[in-house]
Structure 1
Amino acid sequence: MDEEIPNQEAIMGLIINGGNAKGSSFEAIEYAKKGDFDHARDKLKEADDFLSKAHNSQTGMLTNEANGIHTPLSLLGVHAQDHIMTAITFRDLASEIIDLYALIDQKLRK
Protein backbone atom coordinates (compact mmCIF):
# COMPACT_ATOMS: atom_id res chain seq x y z
CA MET A 1 0.00 0.00 0.00
CA ASP A 2 2.42 2.65 -1.26
CA GLU A 3 -0.15 5.22 -2.33
CA GLU A 4 1.30 8.71 -2.37
CA ILE A 5 -0.67 11.35 -0.54
CA PRO A 6 -1.26 14.42 -2.74
CA ASN A 7 0.85 17.37 -1.53
CA GLN A 8 2.56 15.13 1.00
CA GLU A 9 5.74 17.23 0.99
CA ALA A 10 3.81 20.47 1.56
CA ILE A 11 1.69 18.85 4.27
CA MET A 12 4.77 17.57 6.08
CA GLY A 13 6.28 21.06 5.77
CA LEU A 14 3.27 22.46 7.58
CA ILE A 15 3.48 19.89 10.36
CA ILE A 16 7.24 20.13 10.87
CA ASN A 17 7.51 23.90 10.66
CA GLY A 18 4.37 24.42 12.72
CA GLY A 19 5.76 22.17 15.44
CA ASN A 20 9.12 23.94 15.34
CA ALA A 21 7.43 27.36 15.53
CA LYS A 22 5.41 26.29 18.56
CA GLY A 23 8.53 24.89 20.21
CA SER A 24 10.49 28.10 19.61
CA SER A 25 7.59 30.13 21.00
CA PHE A 26 7.53 28.02 24.14
CA GLU A 27 11.30 28.49 24.53
CA ALA A 28 10.77 32.25 24.15
CA ILE A 29 8.37 32.22 27.10
CA GLU A 30 10.89 30.24 29.16
CA TYR A 31 13.60 32.82 28.45
CA ALA A 32 11.25 35.66 29.38
CA LYS A 33 10.34 33.90 32.60
CA LYS A 34 14.06 34.00 33.50
CA GLY A 35 14.28 37.68 32.55
CA ASP A 36 16.32 37.06 29.39
CA PHE A 37 14.28 39.17 27.00
CA ASP A 38 16.91 39.35 24.25
CA HIS A 39 16.90 35.57 23.87
CA ALA A 40 13.11 35.55 24.17
CA ARG A 41 12.81 37.94 21.22
CA ASP A 42 15.36 35.87 19.26
CA LYS A 43 13.21 32.78 19.80
CA LEU A 44 10.10 34.65 18.60
CA LYS A 45 12.03 35.61 15.47
CA GLU A 46 12.97 31.95 15.04
CA ALA A 47 9.29 31.02 15.39
CA ASP A 48 8.43 33.59 12.73
CA ASP A 49 11.01 32.06 10.40
CA PHE A 50 9.44 28.61 10.85
CA LEU A 51 5.98 30.05 10.26
CA SER A 52 7.24 31.70 7.08
CA LYS A 53 8.50 28.31 5.84
CA ALA A 54 5.13 26.77 6.69
CA HIS A 55 3.39 29.57 4.81
CA ASN A 56 5.55 28.82 1.77
CA SER A 57 4.53 25.16 1.95
CA GLN A 58 0.90 26.18 2.10
CA THR A 59 1.11 28.71 -0.74
CA GLY A 60 1.79 26.07 -3.38
CA MET A 61 -1.24 24.08 -2.28
CA LEU A 62 -3.45 27.17 -2.34
CA THR A 63 -2.14 28.20 -5.76
CA ASN A 64 -2.96 24.78 -7.16
CA GLU A 65 -6.43 24.94 -5.67
CA ALA A 66 -7.01 28.39 -7.18
CA ASN A 67 -5.88 27.03 -10.56
CA GLY A 68 -8.43 24.23 -10.42
CA ILE A 69 -6.04 21.49 -9.30
CA HIS A 70 -8.02 20.15 -6.38
CA THR A 71 -6.49 18.01 -3.66
CA PRO A 72 -8.67 15.40 -2.00
CA LEU A 73 -9.31 16.06 1.67
CA SER A 74 -7.17 13.85 3.91
CA LEU A 75 -6.88 13.49 7.65
CA LEU A 76 -3.17 14.30 7.34
CA GLY A 77 -4.01 17.56 5.55
CA VAL A 78 -6.53 18.50 8.22
CA HIS A 79 -3.96 17.66 10.91
CA ALA A 80 -1.38 19.88 9.16
CA GLN A 81 -3.79 22.83 9.03
CA ASP A 82 -4.63 22.34 12.69
CA HIS A 83 -0.94 22.20 13.53
CA ILE A 84 -0.12 25.44 11.76
CA MET A 85 -3.11 27.36 13.12
CA THR A 86 -2.26 26.26 16.66
CA ALA A 87 1.37 27.32 16.13
CA ILE A 88 0.31 30.75 14.89
CA THR A 89 -1.98 31.25 17.88
CA PHE A 90 0.67 30.02 20.31
CA ARG A 91 3.27 32.36 18.79
CA ASP A 92 0.93 35.35 19.11
CA LEU A 93 0.15 34.52 22.72
CA ALA A 94 3.85 33.98 23.49
CA SER A 95 4.55 37.53 22.35
CA GLU A 96 1.90 38.86 24.72
CA ILE A 97 3.21 36.76 27.62
CA ILE A 98 6.75 38.01 26.99
CA ASP A 99 5.49 41.59 26.99
CA LEU A 100 3.81 40.95 30.34
CA TYR A 101 6.99 39.44 31.82
CA ALA A 102 8.95 42.47 30.57
CA LEU A 103 6.43 44.86 32.10
CA ILE A 104 6.55 43.04 35.44
CA ASP A 105 10.34 43.04 35.32
CA GLN A 106 10.38 46.78 34.58
CA LYS A 107 7.99 47.52 37.45
CA LEU A 108 10.02 45.41 39.92
CA ARG A 109 13.24 47.24 38.99
CA LYS A 110 11.75 50.66 39.90
Structure 2
Amino acid sequence: METIIFTIISYSGDARNFFLEALAPAKNGYIEKAVELIKQGDEKLELAHKEQTKLIQAEARGEKMEISLLMIHAQDHLMNAITVKQLVCEMIDIYITFFENNKNDCVEV
Protein backbone atom coordinates (compact mmCIF):
# COMPACT_ATOMS: atom_id res chain seq x y z
CA MET A 1 0.00 0.00 0.00
CA GLU A 2 2.84 2.42 0.77
CA THR A 3 4.22 1.91 -2.74
CA ILE A 4 0.88 2.93 -4.23
CA ILE A 5 0.71 5.96 -1.94
CA PHE A 6 4.21 7.14 -2.89
CA THR A 7 3.37 6.60 -6.56
CA ILE A 8 0.28 8.81 -6.21
CA ILE A 9 2.40 11.51 -4.58
CA SER A 10 5.05 11.29 -7.29
CA TYR A 11 2.69 11.33 -10.28
CA SER A 12 0.55 14.08 -8.76
CA GLY A 13 3.59 16.23 -8.08
CA ASP A 14 4.83 15.72 -11.62
CA ALA A 15 1.40 16.63 -13.02
CA ARG A 16 1.22 19.78 -10.90
CA ASN A 17 4.68 20.82 -12.09
CA PHE A 18 3.74 20.37 -15.77
CA PHE A 19 0.57 22.43 -15.25
CA LEU A 20 2.44 25.27 -13.57
CA GLU A 21 5.20 25.12 -16.17
CA ALA A 22 2.56 25.68 -18.88
CA LEU A 23 1.94 29.22 -17.63
CA ALA A 24 5.28 30.66 -18.82
CA PRO A 25 4.89 29.86 -22.51
CA ALA A 26 1.20 30.83 -22.43
CA LYS A 27 2.08 34.19 -20.90
CA ASN A 28 4.44 34.82 -23.79
CA GLY A 29 1.96 33.75 -26.46
CA TYR A 30 3.30 30.23 -27.05
CA ILE A 31 -0.05 28.57 -26.59
CA GLU A 32 0.86 25.35 -28.43
CA LYS A 33 3.76 24.77 -26.03
CA ALA A 34 1.47 25.44 -23.08
CA VAL A 35 -1.07 22.94 -24.40
CA GLU A 36 1.72 20.37 -24.85
CA LEU A 37 2.71 20.79 -21.20
CA ILE A 38 -0.92 20.46 -20.07
CA LYS A 39 -1.16 17.19 -22.01
CA GLN A 40 2.01 15.91 -20.31
CA GLY A 41 0.50 16.85 -16.96
CA ASP A 42 -2.72 15.05 -17.89
CA GLU A 43 -0.74 11.88 -18.58
CA LYS A 44 0.79 12.00 -15.10
CA LEU A 45 -2.57 12.84 -13.55
CA GLU A 46 -4.12 9.81 -15.23
CA LEU A 47 -1.39 7.59 -13.80
CA ALA A 48 -2.02 9.01 -10.32
CA HIS A 49 -5.75 8.34 -10.73
CA LYS A 50 -5.06 4.75 -11.73
CA GLU A 51 -3.05 4.24 -8.54
CA GLN A 52 -5.78 5.85 -6.46
CA THR A 53 -8.32 3.55 -8.13
CA LYS A 54 -6.32 0.53 -6.92
CA LEU A 55 -6.81 1.68 -3.34
CA ILE A 56 -10.51 2.37 -3.87
CA GLN A 57 -11.07 -1.03 -5.48
CA ALA A 58 -9.22 -2.81 -2.68
CA GLU A 59 -11.40 -1.12 -0.10
CA ALA A 60 -14.52 -1.94 -2.12
CA ARG A 61 -13.46 -5.62 -2.02
CA GLY A 62 -13.52 -5.38 1.75
CA GLU A 63 -9.78 -5.13 2.29
CA LYS A 64 -9.21 -3.26 5.50
CA MET A 65 -7.16 -0.12 5.07
CA GLU A 66 -5.60 1.95 7.74
CA ILE A 67 -5.90 5.62 6.98
CA SER A 68 -2.48 7.11 7.50
CA LEU A 69 -1.12 10.62 7.35
CA LEU A 70 0.79 9.49 4.28
CA MET A 71 -2.43 8.43 2.54
CA ILE A 72 -4.01 11.79 3.36
CA HIS A 73 -0.90 13.50 2.03
CA ALA A 74 -1.22 11.57 -1.25
CA GLN A 75 -4.87 12.56 -1.58
CA ASP A 76 -3.91 16.16 -0.90
CA HIS A 77 -1.30 16.06 -3.67
CA LEU A 78 -3.78 14.58 -6.13
CA MET A 79 -6.52 17.08 -5.33
CA ASN A 80 -4.01 19.93 -5.47
CA ALA A 81 -2.83 18.86 -8.93
CA ILE A 82 -6.43 18.78 -10.16
CA THR A 83 -7.12 22.24 -8.75
CA VAL A 84 -3.91 23.67 -10.20
CA LYS A 85 -4.83 22.25 -13.61
CA GLN A 86 -8.26 23.89 -13.51
CA LEU A 87 -6.81 27.26 -12.55
CA VAL A 88 -3.96 27.11 -15.07
CA CYS A 89 -6.36 26.18 -17.88
CA GLU A 90 -8.52 29.18 -16.99
CA MET A 91 -5.45 31.42 -17.04
CA ILE A 92 -4.34 30.03 -20.40
CA ASP A 93 -7.81 30.78 -21.77
CA ILE A 94 -7.35 34.37 -20.59
CA TYR A 95 -3.97 34.58 -22.34
CA ILE A 96 -5.49 33.19 -25.54
CA THR A 97 -8.21 35.85 -25.44
CA PHE A 98 -5.64 38.54 -24.71
CA PHE A 99 -3.41 37.60 -27.64
CA GLU A 100 -6.36 37.20 -30.02
CA ASN A 101 -7.64 40.66 -29.10
CA ASN A 102 -4.21 42.27 -29.41
CA LYS A 103 -2.70 40.48 -32.41
CA ASN A 104 -2.40 43.68 -34.43
CA ASP A 105 -0.99 45.70 -31.56
CA CYS A 106 2.63 45.94 -30.55
CA VAL A 107 2.22 44.66 -26.99
CA GLU A 108 5.10 43.77 -24.72
CA VAL A 109 4.33 41.11 -22.18
TM-score by length of 1: 0.92
4+ residue runs of structure 1 moved beyond 3 angstroms?
A: none
Aligned partner of 2:51: which letter? Answer: S
Aligned to 2:50: 56
Query: 1:70 deviation in Å?
Result: 1.8
Aligned-partner residue type, residue 64 of structure 2: H
Q: 1:36: which partner in 2?
A: 30
Q: Which amino acid is the alignment partner of residue 104 of structure 1?
A: F
Name the % identity. 36
Q: Shift in Å at residue 109 of structure 1? A: 1.0
In 1, Cα distance between equivalents of 2:57 and 2:32: 37
CA–CA separation in structure 1 for the residues paired with 2:24 and 2:4: 30
Task: Mark the runs of 5 or more structure 2 residues left unpaired by the alignment.
Answer: 105-109
Aligned-pair RMSD on alpha carbons?
A: 0.7
Q: In structure 2, how many angstroms separate the alpha carbons of the residues matched to 1:42 and 1:57?
A: 23
2:39 is matched by which residue type in structure 1? K
Equivalenced residue count is: 104
In structure 1, what is the equivalent of residue 73 of structure 2? 79
Distance 1:37 1:15 in 2: 28
TM superposition score normalised by structure 2: 0.93
